Amino acid sequence: MKKYLLFLLLLFYCFNVFSQQDAWVYLVDKQNVSSAVSNPISILTQKAINRKNSHGVVIDARDVPVNESYVSQLKNASGITVMAKSKWLNAIHVRGSEIAIKNLTSSFSFIDYIDFADKSLNDFKRVKEKKQSKLESILTSFNYGSAANQIQMFKGEQLHLANYTGSGMTVAVLDAGFPNVNSMAGFQRLRNANNIKGTYNFVNRNSNVYTNTTSNHGTLVLSTMAGYVENQYVGTAPDASYYLFITEDAPNENPVEESYWVEAAERADSLGVDIINTSLGYTTYDNPNYSYSPSQMNGNTAFITRGANIAFEKGMLLVNSAGNSGNDSWGIVGAPADAAGVLSVGAVTSAGLYASFSSRGNSLQPTRKPDVVAQGQASIVITENNVIASANGTSFSSPILAGGIVCLWQALPSLKNSEIMQLVRESASQYATPDYYLGYGIPNLQMALNSGIALTDAESNTEVKLYPNPASFKAYIKIPLTEESVSVLIFDVLGKLVSSTAITPLNNEVDLLSLSNGLYLVTLKSKNISQTIKLIKQ
């Protein structure tokens, strides 16, 4: 009898789960679009407006919120639950029976069309695929270690030495739970600087991202960028500001998580966020009728992918894990990593070799995927128990590199998101011969910085610039691209020559380690240059 009752309960559960459908309701219009766009402070923060203006990003109807009257009417519709909404796509994610959802079109004139997650209900079939986990991490034990290799692999430490550590940049981390980030020692430095700017749980609709979460994934991801343990661990962007958003309902696989993600990306844009890191991927679901097929990872089909492309158009730079399907039947990158507007990051070993679990690209994607790679096998993280540990997954190669890109954009603030992405690609180890395993390869952010400086000063080809100043261990000198070589002579305040070297436009590093703190005169000499610059060593 007990087994029979259990069977009935299970049958009821399955019927209840799969009788409830998910769908996107697309709306015909918005309210007060012209007045909102002409007065953008009514819909965006000043930081968001400044970022868009500085990068030439147009504020348009997509920035205007969804008509709340439409949302309210759908909430009151019989048998309908409103799960999420997207201003960019002017759509509302609803859940209910097939009949209740289809009845909406005859009840409300403001509905343009309805797109069911189960595409068979839209009169065409999807190929069903084996379910894949979207939380891309495999945690292993680690007693003691250092995060040096994973940042040195792409020369990110060179940006830190140049005092580019993320200060002034804002990052949104869209993930699962962030347990203990508000209390553990590994994020004390982040909290002391008041660099956690806000939190929101889009799944539970509250600001709690630290407790009652179903996953520690976000904590591990955040640690690779913002974690800090004195003499033991430094993240790749330790001085950036962060928003922590939960969009992932870890125990379940449902397309509403795509809608949560788009909502979070929209909020990030309105808050003036510069870079979004996402270590999530969406391919198949608990209800197989909702699942995508590999052929639909084409950069423009998935709801989350379309939202990601709009986020890119809005001026943000999106970094996403490529996925961990390299060893299974799925094989390729998922959504939103398939988007052209996303910098997708695959995984390599500590030696820079392809990690077999890392998802591959293919010819279906509109751009090369993965774009680039970083260390994702034996990545060093800080767990929610404040333990420095090793973990595998493109979940970690993505934020490790994202932090480095945060520092790069800090150094090149006048460049657009597309220009930063292209600098990263062009600096990578196999840019001339990309493939579907490593994409363009392992980036060299020092090279990207040098190329970016040359790009930003292209209109002033005769300018010479020394940066940073003051400097600690190294300085860099921008010289015209027409110069083959320039002599660099460093004198102390008494006129004594203390250092000499030569630089080129792309190899422009000057080592200051042997110099004592103080004031120096840096003299540059070539056929076309004769200039002296004051330098403060600190």
pLDDT at 4 over 70: no
Catalytic, 217? Answer yes
Residue 343's pLDDT band, with cuts at 50, 70 and 90, is very high
Question: Start-end ranges of CATH 2.60.40.3080 in the chain?
Answer: 465-537
Closest residue by Cα to residue 518 from 498, 489, 502, 488: 498
Task: Pick left, alpha or beta for residue 180 (phi over 0 → left; psi -120 to 50 → alpha; otherwise beta).
Answer: left
pLDDT at 318 over 70: yes
What is the rounded CA–CA span in Å between residue 101 and residue 344? 35
Partnered with residue 343 across adjacent β-strands are: 319
The pLDDT assigned to 161 comes to: 84
What is the distance between the terminal CA atoms of the chain, rounded to a whole angstrom? Answer: 79
Q: What is the mean pLDDT of residues 273-285?
A: 97
The distance of Cα 355 from the centroid of its chain, to the nearest Å, equals 21
Long-range pairs of 142-146 with CB within 8 A, sequence gap ≥ 24: 142/380, 142/387, 142/388, 142/389, 142/390, 144/232, 144/388, 145/380, 145/388, 145/389, 145/390, 146/232, 146/233, 146/380
The pLDDT assigned to 495 comes to: 80
Question: Start-end ranges of CATH 3.30.70.250 in the chain?
Answer: 18-122
DSSP summary character for residue 134: S
Partnered with residue 500 across adjacent β-strands are: 489
Amino acid letter for position 103: N
pLDDT at 419 over 80: yes
182 C-beta neighbours (distance < 10 Å), count: 15
* Active-site pick, 217, 338, 358, 379: 217
- Angle between helix axes 394-411 and 417-426 (nearest 10 degrees) is 110
Closest residue by Cα to residue 463 from 480, 485, 477, 484: 480
* Active-site pick, 321, 325, 395, 398: 395
The pLDDT assigned to 532 comes to: 86
- Angle between helix axes 256-270 and 303-313 (nearest 10 degrees) is 10
The pLDDT assigned to 310 comes to: 97
501 contacts: CB under 8 Å, gap ≥ 6: 487, 488, 510, 511
Looking at 3.40.50.970, 2.40.50.140, 3.30.300.160, 2.60.40.3080, the CATH number of the domain 465-537 comes to: 2.60.40.3080
Query: What are phi and psi for residue 170, nearest 5 degrees?
Result: -125, 130
The pLDDT assigned to 145 comes to: 57
CATH number of 18-122: 3.30.70.250
Q: Write down the mean pLDDT value for the chain.
A: 89
Amino acid letter for position 430: Q
Q: Which of 304-318, 428-442, 445-459 has the lowest mean pLDDT?
A: 445-459
Question: Start-end ranges of CATH 3.40.50.200 in the chain?
Answer: 138-454
SS3 assignment, position 464? coil
Query: What are phi and psi for residue 327, nearest 5 degrees?
Result: -100, 0
Catalytic, 175? Answer yes
Are 377 and 199 spatial neighbours (Cβ–Cβ below 8 Å)? no
CATH number of 138-454: 3.40.50.200
Are 218 and 381 spatial neighbours (Cβ–Cβ below 8 Å)? no
User: DSSP letters of 405-461?
Assistant: HHHHHHH-TTS-HHHHHHHHHHTSTTTTS-BTTTBT-S--HHHHHHHHHHHHTTT-T
Closest residue by Cα to residue 368 from 463, 432, 318, 294: 432
* Active-site pick, 175, 239, 269, 338: 175
Q: Which of 56-60, 109-113, 379-383, 462-466 has the lowest mean pLDDT?
A: 462-466
Residue 203's pLDDT band, with cuts at 50, 70 and 90, is very high
What is the rounded CA–CA span in Å between residue 268 and residue 263? 9
Q: Which of 94-98, 323-327, 452-456, 499-503 has the lowest mean pLDDT?
A: 452-456
Could you report the per-residue pLDDT of 65-82, keeping only the tens digit for each?
A: 999 999 999 999 999 999
Could you report the per-residue pLDDT of 383-396, keeping only the tens digit for each?
A: 999 999 999 999 99
Are 92 and 85 spatial neighbours (Cβ–Cβ below 8 Å)? yes
